[in-house]
Amino acid sequence: MCIRDRRILFLSKNTSRGGSMRVLSYVLKYLDKQRFAPTVIARDGGDLLPEFRRYAPTYVYGEDKRHLLLTSLERSFAGALKRVIAKREKRHGRRWLQAMMGRIRPHLIVHNYHAAIPLFDGVPKGAVPAIQIVSMYGAALNSLGTAQIEKFVGRATHFICQGKNVREFAHDCLGIPHERISTVCVGVDLAVPYHQLGKAKRVQRSDLGISEKDLVIATCGPLNYHKAPDIWLKAAALLQARRNQQPLKFIWIGGTERQLEGLYGRSVLRLRGELGLDPHVVITGYRQEVYPYLDLCDIYVQPSRDDAFPHAVLEAMAIGKPAVSFRQGVAAEDYAKDALVCVDVVSPEGLADGIADLIGHPLRRQTLGAAGRTLIETRFEAAATVRAYQDVLATVIEKSGQGRRFRQAR
């Protein structure tokens, strides 16, 4: 048996462009194929499926929906729809997954999701070592409920956290011993912004009704409570009142149609109007390629009230944008203290104060932008961070006893 026969099975909720799935795409791209043989099983597909399949065999359970077809009678009971699908998935999915596990025969399983997925309940617990990726914490993880958190903690022998806040939460609040936690943040693939920003036809300020005189303050993410568009809008209103001699525009990059039509999305749009911000705030809706939109901004803001390690901050810093963030993710790290503005008080007033420090100081924006770019290049370049990630994979396999079998086989 050769070293590259170390078969790693990644289990993922889907292959969308969400943070943890985007990170997994970088892992698959840069994983040393001479050391590891990766395979992915995803519950559903998504925009990144072609990217996943370019670098690893990827099987999507949701591609075959025949077992989920509902009779007209079942459709009439809309409230029970999810329960019907979950039952069928548990029955059919267990057989499907067991067949896949028999074919792949993994030496290590990586759980790249948080909330319990009935399909993956069929993974035999303890049969092979398992790693749980922790990219949620605090209120976001607690919203899963006690039973699901117990599953989350119980399905792995080792945990990978991206930074200080999450690592401390895993130990202090979930009781995971320090020796079972590794801190690795898979960073930014710098080939992606180079590709997206190199396109001749990409979004321009004029496409969004923004003039060249406007100072643009942007953020990126779904419209939900944790990302805090309400705090961001209230901070925008404060800044408009303070700096009315400086034309300001605010861009929220994200928001699916479903989010915009939901209760929270409708409330956000209503709040924008109540604050008199309709002419000043642009909500772009969901965008597959975010770098052209990030490139339009002068200041990037991460207003999240509860966010483990938001990669959008890293992405903005990667293209030299000065960043303002509450003490979440990279903003909580000592090594980043000179590379962005960290706001300690989670409030519209605190966020507005942090942004205001940059509005009237273009040289300060330029200095921070350069420092952020340097930080990404030296600490968060994807290929280098994946090397640290795969060292954790190798160590977990070695400690499980499987490493001895590799050496004996050679």
Q: How far apart are CA 154 and CA 131, in angstroms?
A: 11
Q: Say if pTM beats, i.e. exceeds, 0.85.
A: yes
Residue 19 pLDDT:
83
Residues 6 or more apart from 374 whose CB is under 8 A from it?
339
* Stretch (H or E) spanning 38: strand 36-42
Q: Looking at this protein, which amino acid is placed at residue 323?
A: A
Residue 338 pLDDT:
94
Residue 410 pLDDT:
39
In the chain, which residues have pLDDT < 50?
A: 1, 66-70, 74-75, 403-410
Residue 67 pLDDT:
45
Over the stretch 333-350, which tens digit does the pLDDT of each residue have? Answer: 999 999 999 999 999 999
Closest CA to 251 of 215, 224, 289, 197: 215
Cβ–Cβ < 8 Å for 196, 292: yes
Residues 6 or more apart from 220 whose CB is under 8 A from it?
252, 253, 254, 290, 293, 294, 300, 312, 315, 316
Q: What is the 3-state secondary structure (H, E, C) of 198-234?
A: CCCCCCCHHHHCCCCCCEEEEEECCCCCCCCHHHHHH
Give the β-pairing of 36-42 and 181-183.
unpaired
User: Six-digit token pair at 90?
Assistant: 């548990």
- For 205, how many CA atoms within 13 A lie in the half-sphere containing its CB? 16
Residue listed under structure tokens 């069929």: 122
In order, the DSSP letters of 121-169 are GGS-TTSS-EEEEE---HHHHHTT-HHHHHHHHHT-SEEEESSHHHHHH
C-alpha dist (Å) from residue 169 to 30, 166, 327, 382, 388? 29, 5, 14, 25, 22
Q: Looking at this protein, which amino acid is placed at residue 7?
A: R
Q: If you compute the radius of gyration of the chain from its CA atoms, what whole number of angstroms results?
A: 22
Number of neighbours of residue 90 by Cβ within 10 angstroms: 13
